Structure 1
Amino acid sequence: MRDIPVVLSGYKLTVVEPPAPNTRDDGNGGQVVVTDRQGVTQFVVALFAKLRVGPGERAPKGEEIKVTLLTDPGLGFEEDSRVELVDPRINAYQIDSPDGRSISGISFKAMGLKPVRAPREEK
């Protein structure tokens, strides 16, 4: 299964590394920008995901995730910005190495980012 929709509304997402074009090693010591099949540049953002909890509850340890963005998120997503993912998806992967070991996990992707406004403090 690919592109499994995921609901992340129960998490606070904070930018750790601002969005930038996704690159990979070209095999000659250089970098090449990653594009989709139509030639559209892919972007990547690192987010810290922490579970939202109720008053008086203690949140478990959070996790840093890297998310591939299928569109240019634009400006305004600096470090420490609170964001939401637009149409988030996950994909499972497995990489088998020549020595017989397997590495598996999930990767995150989304159509884009949108800012989250901080809730107003009641007086």
Structure 2
Amino acid sequence: MALQDLPVMLSGYRLMITEAPVAKVREADDGTVTPVVDRVSGAVQYVVTLFAKPVPVEGRKVGKGEEIRVNLPGDPGKGFEEGTYVELVNAVVNTYEIPDRIDPRKIASAGLWFKAAGLKSVTRSARSAA
């Protein structure tokens, strides 16, 4: 069973854009590439790649961080280039499972994916103080 749209709180992380938002695309078996559109609004969806680094906490070792990809419902607009610090608006996480082809009772692969309603630019000094 896949869990959908679980609210996620990332206030303990600094999020920096490592790949600017681009239209999300899907490649068909024949090699054609088409943009992914929202089923309800028909708008082209976007994806942004962020580096999520834990905010230092006194007395704790700071982790290295992870790169995450976040789906967005549309173009977030100007000002979201590589190196920009951001917050996610209404961030959620979703899970997925792919059953094993031989034994469908087993899970061959599982994972999670992030999505957000948008991006909000954050000054690094203000975010570091948090």
Mapped partners of 2:102, 2:32: distance in 1: 27
* Distance across 1 between alignment mates of 2:16 and 2:102: 37
Gap runs ≥5 in structure 2: none
Deviation at 1:32, TM superposition (A): 0.6
Detail structure 1 runs of 4+ shifted over 2 Å in the superposition. 54-58, 96-101
Are residues 32 and 119 of structure 1, via their aligned partners in 2, closer, same or farther at CA, if it must alter by over 3 Å? same
Q: Mind listing any 5+ residue stretches in structure 1 that lack a counterpart?
A: none
Deviations 1:13-44 (A, max 9, x none): 01111000000102211211001113111000
Using the size of structure 1 for normalisation, the TM-score is 0.88
Letter in 1 for 2:120: K
Once the two structures are TM-superposed, the CA of residue 75 in structure 1 deviates from its matched residue by: 1.2
SS in 2 for 1:119: helix
Aligned residue for 2:85? 82
**Counterpart for residue 67 of structure 1:** 70
Amino acid at match of 1:41: V
Alignment of 1:1-123 (within 5 A): 1-37=3-39, 38-54=41-57, 57-98=60-101, 102-119=108-125
- Over the aligned positions, Cα root-mean-square deviation in angstroms equals 1.9
Task: Give secondary structure in 2 for the equivalent of 1:59.
Answer: coil
Alpha-carbon displacement from aligned partner over 1:62-118 (angstroms, at most 9, x marks no partner): 111000011320111111111110100000101235355611011100001010112
User: Matches of 1:44 and 1:28 in 2, distance apart?
Assistant: 23
Letter in 2 for 1:3: D
Q: Is 48-57 or 27-36 further displaced after alignment?
A: 48-57
Alignment partners' CA distance in 2, 1:113 and 1:97: 36
Partner secondary structure for residue 50 of structure 2: strand
Query: Normalised by the size of structure 2, how large is the TM-score?
Result: 0.84
When the two structures are aligned, how many residues end up with a matched partner? 121
